[in-house]
Structure 1
Amino acid sequence: MPNLKASVAPLRRETLKNGVYQQLRDLILQGGLVAGESMTVASLADAFGVSPMPVREALTRLSAAEAVTVISGRTVGVPPLRREHLDDLRKVRLELEPVAAEWAVENRDSKFVEELRQRLSRLVASEAAGNSKLYIKENYGFHMCLYRQSQSPTMVMIIETLWLQVSPYLHLLRESRNYELSNYFHRQIFDAVAEGDKSDLRTAIQNDIDRAYEALILEHDVLSGYPKAVNDDKKTIRRRGYEQAPKVDPANVKPISRLRRRSAFGPRAD
């Protein structure tokens, strides 16, 4: 069970309903809830310093969004990993997230690009430190910084709902070294944004989504007891792209004023 008191803040009476929901939502989006962990209504109410009622209401909303599911009685957790659900999430994300990113490029300015650079630096540092929860939090922050620059609250709301459903499973990607590979694509995303290259940006986001999807599918197959041959495919996924994907050093993330038309990490990969 996650350390709830360290992750949420007590709420005043006038902010109970939305406050409990927002903090639980942020807890999930930022990696505070791991697949396999569970929470009780009582533990959540104690952490927030509220009665069980607003907690139940918040969990009902999150359950409707398929972010949590009832395990037994008053205990909730992450829904089981289902292949058909992963397929659906992948298809919708591939349609929406590149579009939001392209809109962000149209609205970009130097302040936004610098913020994205700083978020990428923190994301790289969290991966290098091997801190899964911090990596997932920074990964969410990097992507949402990009998508919010689309200046479309409706698009961001839809994308955040999708991320509510996938974020708890991102902890499963650490073993496959997907974090390292994903940061290679994050570097490409930043390069494309800085240069205003919508085509490269779309490709980098699609690759980031697809490689994570492939790794999650293999985790699903292993957890489901599929034949041992799956392990060979799993090793292939782990190797994919690493010979071509250089290790990203956070020390090489330069201020945006020094970018000009070059990557903050050096020459662009072909």
Structure 2
Amino acid sequence: MWDQEMSAIRGSVTPLRKETLQDGVFRRLCGLILEGGIAPGQSITVASLAEAFDVSPMPVREALTRLTAIGALTVVSGRTIGIPKLTRERLDDLTRVRLEVESTAVRWASERSNPQFLAELAPILERLRLAERTADATLYVGANYDLHFRIYRQASSPVLVGMVEVLWLQISPYFHLLRESGNFHISNDRHEELFDALGASGADRAVGALQADINGAYRVLSDLI
């Protein structure tokens, strides 16, 4: 009887796609935000995103609804969307949580450090230095994301990395604002220290470098809002 019921279900149900169109658009939008493709004050439309992704407006709207729900994007006017305004209260909250969650990720990554991991970090550090020399905010935001998340993935915890990604979707666009403050240079010094600590199996030192990086960005952004 059970086998007959299962056969009937299999015959009437279309197999699920591994990735729905909405999920694909959502992931591409997340990448656009995290890698510096949308800066504060920059507006985009549903129509322009649908055209760029070669999809209908519907999956774009659905993905934007998900990103709006977590505070990564907001409706500016009509069909135009952008990065929401950063308030002091929101910055304080994001920073407190980042310090806790990302410190854990760095500690776990330090425990799993190996030569291959460090070899993958080195060229990303060079991209960050290039971004500093050229004052290229978009290049910096993208390389900064790549460096931090390569470290966080080394923690071997998809749940933890997912938590960090939600935080970064809300805060990383504001890293564009750090260019004029000279924070790129200061932050890159912290990145070098973090890299050295990961290579020396110094978890406490690595966490300290990360926290100094987060707190440095916090001080600059708190003066700008």
For normalisation by structure 1, the TM-score amounts to 0.75
String of CA shifts for 1:81-124, please: whole Å, max 9, x gaps: 11100000000001011110110111111100111122112211
Following the alignment from structure 1 to structure 2, what is the Cα–Cα distance between the partners of residues 103 and 190? 14
| Cα distance in 2 for residues equivalent to 1:194 and 1:119 | 15
SS in 1 for 2:50: helix
**1:180 aligned residue:** 185
Mapped partners of 1:166, 1:80: distance in 2: 11
Structural mapping, 1:1-270, within 5 Å: 15-220=20-225
Cα displacement string for residues 234-269 of structure 1 (whole angstroms, at most 9, x for unaligned residues):
xxxxxxxxxxxxxxxxxxxxxxxxxxxxxxxxxxxx
Contact 2:111 2:203 in 1 (8 A): no
Higher RCO (C-alpha 8 Å, min separation 6): 2
- Tell me the SS of whatever aligns to 1:91: helix
**2:14 — aligned with what?**
none
The code of the aligned residue for 2:187 comes to S
Quote the residue 2:11 is aligned against.
none
Q: Which amino acid aligns with 2:179?
A: R
Question: What is the rounded CA distance, in whole Å, between the counterparts of 1:207 and 1:105 in structure 2?
Answer: 17
Structure 1 residue 15: Cα displacement = 4.7
Q: Which whole-Å deviations, capped at 9, do the CAs of 1:12-43 have from their partners, x for residues lacking one?
A: xx752111111110000000000001111111
Q: Between Structure 1 and Structure 2, how many residues are aligned?
A: 207
Which residue type is aligned with residue 133 of structure 2? A
Q: Higher helix share goes to which structure?
A: 2
Match of 1:4 in 2: none
Structure 1: distance between partners of 2:80 and 2:64: 10
- Percent identity, please: 51
Q: Runs of 4+ in structure 1 displaced over 2 angstroms? A: none
2:15 alignment partner in structure 1: none
SS in 2 for 1:174: helix
Q: Which amino acid aligns with 1:21?
A: F
3-state secondary structure, aligned to 1:81: coil
Long gaps (5+) in structure 2: 1-18
Q: Residue 208 of structure 1: CA displacement?
A: 0.3
Q: Deviation of residue 141 (structure 1)?
A: 0.2
Q: Provide Cα deviations, 1:157-180, integer angstroms capped at 9, x if missing partner.
A: 000110000111111110001011
- Cα distance in 1 for partners of 2:79, 2:131 equals 34
Report SS of the residue matched to 2:76.
Answer: strand
Structure 1 or 2, whichever has the larger Rg, is: 2
- Would you say the 8 A contact 2:106–2:206 is kept in 1? yes
